[in-house]
Amino acid sequence: MTLNATPVATLNRRTLLVAAAAAGGGFSLGFGLPGSGPARANQVREINAWVVIHPDDKVVIRVARSEMGQGTLTGLAQLVAEELECDWTKISTEYPTPGQNVARNRVWRNFSTGGSRGIRESHEYVRQGGAAARMMLIQAAAADWKVPASECAAANSVITHKPSGRTVTFGKVAAAAATLEPPKDIPLKDPKDWKIAGKAVKRLDTLDKLTGKQLYGSDLRLPNMLTATVKACPVPGGKLKSFDAAKVEKMPGVKRVMALDGIAVAVVADTYWSAHSALAALPVEWDAGPNASVSSATIAAMLKEGLDADQAFVGNKTGDAKGAIASAAKKVEAVYSYPFQNHATMEPMNATALYMADKCEVWCPTQNGEAALAAAAEAAELPVAKCDVHKMLLGGGFGRRGRSDYVRQAVLIAKQMPGTPVKLIWSREEDMAQCQFHPITQCKLVGALDAKGDLVGLHMRISGQSILASLLPQNLQNGMDPVTFQGLNPGGAEGMFGYNIPNLLIDHAMRNPHIVAGFWRGVNLNHNAIYVECFMDELAHAAGQDPLEFRRKLLKPKHLAVLNAAAEKAGYGKAPPGRFHGLAQIMGFGSYVAACAEVSVSDAGVLKIHRIAAATDCGVAVNPAQIERQVAGSFVYGLSAALYGECTVKDGAIEQTNFDSYNVLRMDEMPHVETVLMPSGGFWGGVGEPTIGVAAPAVLNAIFAATGKRVRSLPLMNANLKRGA
């Protein structure tokens, strides 16, 4: 047995130890020959890249996307199993490694797990994988029985020859099926005929999370392993000037102190606490570089200038917004702002690397296995074919683990200690300092109402940071970042603007501070939804109309349907005494979502979010129970951001250091979330992120209804909601 392919749901301490023992006392786990994963071994049969069937009918479904709590592992397995017609109780899952994907010509396609893409972008080919395997199993049985395959059918891992009633299980014909040519024409089921997919089946990966058996990346223990921790220059763009290793080298357990890339220093020791203590005691001098005097105030001024700048990238334009505004019966204007925020995954960044002269292996939680492999190979200065990455379960991802900076660091450390596995764990403080933050933006909105109070023009100017400019400048289009316009696009399946406004201009003045921006669960939809939906509320009040009725006149059908559903579920307009409702809707990541929040605000200004009704139209729903959990969880993430999420900058560095200075929502503040799942069919939308967009604006609009106070700058903890204040 090797760890070449990692059994996701069952990787625990015992299997690792067994694997280590089976690898002959070494710990070079999983260095199989390219293209010869465990499924090629004699005792089990790989029907195709997605499906392995054992003689005892056990089914292994391969999953390329990373599980980080969002349930993609279970959902993708449901899709394969549905088409395979296998017994759901006999399945398990495993990750192919990124190295195997390279060796097999990317047979598993994209490993990247972000943008709520897991199911919506791979549903077709994984279902085809399941369906093709079923067809091959049936064909093998039919050939054995010498009957036409068309007379046979599969259900629950059993193939039946309908005229004779003969049956055989998948395990019995798997060996023969594995030798057949895969079919070319692979019809898929209509979702209305689904028996496993579309159902609220339990997650496959729960039990070990309740007993302490589940291994995360930071739990990995390999023979002779050392543990490292690291500190990088707190000011992005700065450098490591000097450090005095002699001061800590004699501390208990310390093995090495080393610089990384000229910007960070690492301590390697026998345990995390030894490494952490030595790093804390290590005298380090930084060269803060050109950004040493940047502060939140200077960044805010930089963005403010962009609100009225002449140059801006146009994301959505209809008619003549500026003309409509100039001739408006009533002009409404507001400026909003959204801060930097940290993902704050519960498990800090970590990676374990083992470097040998001619190969390098990494074990890590990653949302992008292929990028992690590329980063490992680059840091090791070895060909990709000499490296591999073993994906571990993520203790949260939220976009942060799409980056491979911590993988590079682990390999750089291990490279200086060949033959010794080194586990790098960041402290929470390092994680807070070296995030790739939610981008910072401001937005100026100007609306034109005619004499009847109808919205005839809107100019929305976003000023601020581009994620692509920060992380993927090669993906900019003539300098423009199209991702900036999430939820604001004129059309398309990704994030279409919901309102029909005759004169519309949405543009972006890109202003990029030195703080690195990254993909943060919900991405640009988060602030865009706040800007649009809070301003729609402002316009409705300026027009003297109810915010729901005002929107009803403007919204496109699917956007309106979810808003109506959320309003109805919440009993919009019929809030109990002392409570108030606020609405928001948005489309993003392929799905339509809306929320109605019910809040109260005491005279002293204490906000209580009592309940939220949330509607989702994701087209096709693969696991309703997991969608409900993603929706409820999205409010925790989105309301944490709305209430507390703010990373400020002083002397070029992020000021927040831990959960005491970067607070998040806890149980006592959690509203009751009621989910309306209304998949209208015909498209596949994501569910991990879109709902985050409506969390903050629904609450902000409810706060206005309760207090008459319009909060336009987040987080809410900075606002005074006290009556009369």
Partner 1 sequence: MVALTINGKTHDVTVDPGTPLLWVLRDTIGLTGTKYGCGIAQCGACTVHIDGVATRSCQVTLESAANAKITTIEGLAENGVLTKVQQAWLDNDVPQCGYCQSGMVMAATALLKSTPKPTDQDIDAAMTNICRCGTYQQVRAAIHAAAAKA
Q: Tell me how far the alpha carbon of residue 326 is from its chain's centroid.
A: 42
Q: Which residues contact 246 (CB under 8 A, 6 or more apart)?
A: none
**309, two tokens:** 């700048």
675, β-bridge pairs: 614
Stretch that binds partner 1, among 103-111, 265-273, 319-327, 482-490 (CB under 8 A): 265-273
610 is an interface residue for partner 1 by CB under 8 A: no
Residue ranges of E strands in 548-678: 580-588, 591-601, 607-617, 649-650, 653-654, 672-677
Three-class DSSP category at 52: strand
69 is an interface residue for partner 1 by CB under 8 A: yes
Binding pattern for the stretch 326-345 against partner 1, x by CB under 8 A and - elsewhere: -----------------xxx
632 is an interface residue for partner 1 by CB under 8 A: yes
Stretch that binds partner 1, among 98-106, 525-533, 630-638, 711-719 (CB under 8 A): 630-638
Dist. CA 521–CA 634, nearest whole Å: 9
Q: Tell me which of 42, 43, 150, 211 binds partner 1, using CB under 8 A.
A: 211
- Residue closer to partner 1, measured from CB, 472 or 606: 606
Q: Tell me which of 252, 473, 479, 576 binds partner 1, using CB under 8 A.
A: 252
- Long-range contacts of the stretch 327-330 (C-beta < 8 A, 24+): 327/448, 328/447, 328/448, 328/449, 328/450, 328/456, 328/457, 329/448, 329/449, 329/450, 329/451, 330/448, 330/449, 330/453, 330/542, 330/543
629 is an interface residue for partner 1 by CB under 8 A: yes
| Residue 711 CB coordination number (10 Å) | 22
53 is an interface residue for partner 1 by CB under 8 A: no
Dist. CA 249–CA 268, nearest whole Å: 10
**Contacts of partner 1 in 382-441 (CB under 8 A):** 393-398, 425, 427-428
Least distance to partner 1 from the beta carbon of 663, Å?
Answer: 9
202 is an interface residue for partner 1 by CB under 8 A: yes
Q: Which residues contact 541 (CB under 8 A, 6 or more apart)?
A: 547, 704
Q: Tell me which of 213, 552, 556, 610 binds partner 1, using CB under 8 A.
A: 213
Binding pattern for the stretch 268-307 against partner 1, x by CB under 8 A and - elsewhere: ---xxx----------------------------------
**386, two tokens:** 């000499």
- Residue closer to partner 1, measured from CB, 69 or 402: 69
Which amino acid, 558? K
Least distance to partner 1 from the beta carbon of 256, Å?
Answer: 17
89 is an interface residue for partner 1 by CB under 8 A: no
Dist. CA 471–CA 467, nearest whole Å: 6
Total binding residues toward partner 1, as defined by CB under 8 A? 61
Least distance to partner 1 from the beta carbon of 160, Å?
Answer: 33
- Residue closer to partner 1, measured from CB, 206 or 293: 206
**Contacts of partner 1 in 478-537 (CB under 8 A):** none
Least distance to partner 1 from the beta carbon of 334, Å?
Answer: 30
**694, two tokens:** 């409506």
C-alpha count within 13 angstroms, C-beta hemisphere, residue 79: 26
Adjacency order of strands within the sheet including 441-449 = 313-318, 503-510, 455-464, 441-449, 330-338
Q: Do residues 132 and 48 make contact, with C-beta atoms less than 8 angstroms apart?
A: yes
**528, two tokens:** 């865009």
Least distance to partner 1 from the beta carbon of 539, Å?
Answer: 31
79 is an interface residue for partner 1 by CB under 8 A: no
- Residue closer to partner 1, measured from CB, 48 or 630: 630
312 is an interface residue for partner 1 by CB under 8 A: no
Least distance to partner 1 from the beta carbon of 495, Å?
Answer: 22
- CA max distance for the chain: 86
- Residue closer to partner 1, measured from CB, 277 or 441: 277
**Contacts of partner 1 in 554-573 (CB under 8 A):** none
- What does the angle CA 14 – CA 18 – CA 21 come to, to the nearest 5 degrees? 140
Give Cα separations from 285 to 194, 438, 459, 645, 653 (angstroms).
62, 28, 48, 30, 15
223 is an interface residue for partner 1 by CB under 8 A: no
215 is an interface residue for partner 1 by CB under 8 A: yes
254 is an interface residue for partner 1 by CB under 8 A: no
Least distance to partner 1 from the beta carbon of 20, Å?
Answer: 14
| Residue 670 CB coordination number (10 Å) | 14
Stretch that binds partner 1, among 148-156, 327-335, 585-593, 632-640 (CB under 8 A): 632-640
Q: Tell me how far the alpha carbon of residue 612 is from its chain's centroid.
A: 22
Stretch that binds partner 1, among 146-154, 176-184, 216-224, 447-455 (CB under 8 A): 216-224
- Residue closer to partner 1, measured from CB, 221 or 552: 221
| Residue 143 CB coordination number (10 Å) | 14
Least distance to partner 1 from the beta carbon of 677, Å?
Answer: 15
What does the binding site for partner 1 look like in residue numbers (CB under 8 A)? 13, 68-71, 202-203, 205-207, 209-216, 218-219, 221, 227, 252, 271-273, 343-348, 393-398, 425, 427-428, 625, 629, 632-637, 640, 658-660, 664-668, 670, 672-673
